[in-house]
Amino acid sequence: MNAGTRPFDVINYWGSRAAALVYNKQRMGRKLEKTIAAISRRLERESARSLTRAMSFPDRWDPFFAPTMTINDVYAYPTLHFDFHARQLSLSQPLR
């Protein structure tokens, strides 16, 4: 999967730009709330054993990806990713 890093970056960039034309702040907010609710419901149904299942990930795609990640890591990823970008976009907090 790491071999696909370059195409992934291009698709991720242009996909985000195109999505901004469709999802305004209100629409994106509603979508985010529905997505978080669905993820929360799914997480509540996971067993302790299932959260330890792991698979390989393309660790060059994102700074929060590891070569191997558990399902628990995957559930934690969106928060890490969001907090990272929130720090990037904030003028009141220094970048780390």
Cα(62)–Cα(69) distance, rounded to whole angstroms? 13
Residue 9: what pLDDT?
A: 83
The model's pTM: 0.68
Are 62 and 76 in contact by the 8 Å Cβ rule? The answer is no
Cα(55)–Cα(39) distance, rounded to whole angstroms? 19
Are 65 and 78 in contact by the 8 Å Cβ rule? The answer is no
Which of 81-85, 86-90, 92-96 has the least mean pLDDT? 92-96
Tens-digit pLDDT profile for residues 25-82: 788 889 889 999 999 999 999 999 999 999 999 888 888 999 999 999 999 998 898 8
Higher per-residue confidence, 8 vs 45:
45
Cα(68)–Cα(58) distance, rounded to whole angstroms? 9
Residue 94: what pLDDT?
A: 57
